[in-house]
Amino acid sequence: MNAPVSPAETLRSALATLLDGLPPKRAAQAVERLIAHYRGATPTDAPILRDRADVAAYAAYRMPATFEAVRAALGAFADAVPGWVPKSHVDVGGGTGAATWAVSATWSGGRSVTVLDWAEPALALGREIAAANPALQRAGWRRARIGKDLGLDDTDLVTVSYVLNELTEADRAALVDAAASAARAVVIVEAGTPGGYARIIEARDRLIAAGFHIAAPCPHSAACPIVPGEDWCHFSARVSRSSLHRRVKSGSLAYEDEKFSYVAATRLPVAPAASRVVRRPQIRKGQVLMELCEPDERLSRTTVTKRHGDLYKAARDADWGDAWPPHAQEP
């Protein structure tokens, strides 16, 4: 019997098919323009993706990385709220729908799905790509301005990925408030930069003020212990590249690391991580050095050595962003 194809593999295949009909030179030009935009700091409420070529280039350039970042955030959220499965999902500013693919990879089963975006070409292409994913074939794709006039129906889960950077401060606040009013759970992902982290903290504060509990990445719902301007909280997701993906991105490696910041919050009871690994563990001879965010609102450094037995083995396998210590073990 053939093993089932994962959503990640299905998405890569769909994107490869999508790029087959797009001249590489045109795709590269569109990617360069999009990179220039996303590196800028000027918010806009105008559609960035102008036509199918733009959207196809964007999908090849961003969808695999967005999918992996959102899937990592959702995985941490699911660990903190075990047994809960969303029955409805609204992806705000979802474009071609990478977050909807990540949700289907995190929780099996059917659910109602709605993608909201202001770029009609992105919605059209997202609908086309989603035909390859059985969990998304009945999804709704709706044009909407993302900002202060956004209205959201009640839903279990709202995702907002790589959207806040495109909004004014007032529209960011309105979007987070609308999500908090409509959803039982909200997951927001931004670029893993100081600016992306600042936007995540801003959203985190608003969600807590609205009565939400932080499920991940923080082990608490109190103030972040990071001093603004001195550091920022971010994580990394490994992204596999197809040959077509490498060509469009002018890359030679078979993978890339997507840096992202996120917050996952809910009105449900949560069991957050005892602590969170906030930097890549350093493996030395006979010891592992780990930097942790602790439940008592502080950052700490700990060293796990061979004398810790099974915990040392777990530390050698621990990755950046993981909960610590592993379930059912104590340091």
- CATH at 243: 3.40.50.150
DSSP code for 147? S
Residue 32 lies in a domain: yes
Confidence of residue 51 (pLDDT cuts 50, 70, 90): low
**Into how many domains does the chain fold?**
2
- 195 SS3 class: helix
**86: CB partners within 8 A, 6+ apart:** 103, 107, 111, 155, 156, 157, 184, 185
Residue 2 lies in a domain: no
- 84 SS3 class: coil
Angstrom distances, CA of residue 151 to CA of 77, 88, 165, 181: 25, 16, 20, 10
287 shares a domain with 255 = no
Q: Which residue segment(s) compose the domain that 43 sits in? A: 7-266
281 shares a domain with 262 = no
Which tokens hold the place of 308? 């810790």
Residue 329 lies in a domain: no
288 shares a domain with 261 = no
148 shares a domain with 15 = yes
Residue 149 lies in a domain: yes
Q: What is the mean pLDDT of residues 222-235?
A: 92
pLDDT for residue 153 is more than 90: yes
pLDDT in tens, 1-18: 455 678 888 888 888 787
pLDDT for residue 254 is more than 90: no
208 shares a domain with 107 = yes
192 shares a domain with 107 = yes
Residue 215 lies in a domain: yes
Residue 330 lies in a domain: no
- Residue 244: the pLDDT is 55
pLDDT in tens, 274-283: 999 999 999 9
166 shares a domain with 74 = yes
Residue 331 lies in a domain: no
281 shares a domain with 168 = no
312 shares a domain with 208 = no
102 shares a domain with 187 = yes
Which of 222, 206, 244 is closest to 31 using CA atoms? 244
250 shares a domain with 162 = yes
Residue 1 lies in a domain: no
Strand-strand pairing, 155-161 and 183-191? parallel
CB burial of 296-316 (b: ≥16 within 10 Å; e: otherwise) equals eeebeebebeeebeebeebbe
Q: Give the pTM.
A: 0.90
Tell which of 246, 266, 286 closes a domain: 266
